[in-house]
Copies of this chain bind each other. A is one copy, B any other.
Amino acid sequence: MPHQMRLDKARELARGLELDALLVASPANIFYFTGFRGAPRLLVPPDGKPILLTPGVDLAAAQQHFSGAEVEVRHVRVDQRPDDVLLEVLRELQVRRLGFDSLPLATYRRLAGELGEEGLAEVVEQVWELRKVKDKREVAAIRRACEVASKVMALVPELLAPGVRELEVAGELERELRLAGSEEHPFPIIVASGPNSALPHARASGRELRKGDPVVVDLGATCEGYVSDMTRTFVVGRPEPWQERIYVAVREAQLAAVEALRAGVRACDVDAVARNLIDRAGYADYFVHSLGHGVGIEVHEQPRLAPGVEEELRAGYVITVEPGIYLPGRGGVRIEDTVLVLEEGREVLTGPSAPPRTR
Q: Which of A152-189 contact B (CB under 8 A)?
A: 167-168, 170-172, 174-179, 181-185, 188
**Which residue in chain B gives the minimum CB-CB distance to A80?**
B308
Whether A127 sits at the interface, judged by CB under 8 Å, is no
Contact check, B60 vs A328: say whether CB atoms are below 8 A apart: yes
**Which residue in chain B gives the minimum CB-CB distance to A108?**
B105
Contact check, A178 vs B200: say whether CB atoms are below 8 A apart: no
Contact check, A57 vs B201: say whether CB atoms are below 8 A apart: yes
A108 to B122, CA, bound (A): 14
Whether A204 sits at the interface, judged by CB under 8 Å, is yes
The 8 Å CB contact of A61, one of B105, B122, B172, B202, is: B202
What is the minimal beta-carbon distance from A217 to any residue of chain B, in angstroms? 14
Give the number of copies in the complex. Answer: 2
Contact check, A57 vs B203: say whether CB atoms are below 8 A apart: no
- Give how many A residues have a beta carbon under 8 Å from the other chain's beta carbons: 53
**Which residue in chain B gives the minimum CB-CB distance to A170?**
B178
Q: Which residues of B contact A59 (CB under 8 A)?
A: 288
A150 to B240, CA, bound (A): 43
What is the minimal beta-carbon distance from A310 to any residue of chain B, in angstroms? 12
**Which residue in chain B gives the minimum CB-CB distance to A102?**
B105
6 interchain pairs, CB-CB under 8 A: A60-B328, A78-B288, A79-B306, A105-B122, A167-B179, A170-B178
A-to-B contact residues, CB < 8 Å: 37-38, 55-61, 63-64, 78-79, 102-105, 108, 122, 167-168, 170-172, 174-179, 181-185, 188, 198-206, 288-290, 306-308, 326, 328
Q: Which 7 A-B pairs have the closest CB atoms?
A: A171-B178, A56-B288, A171-B175, A57-B289, A175-B175, A79-B307, A174-B174
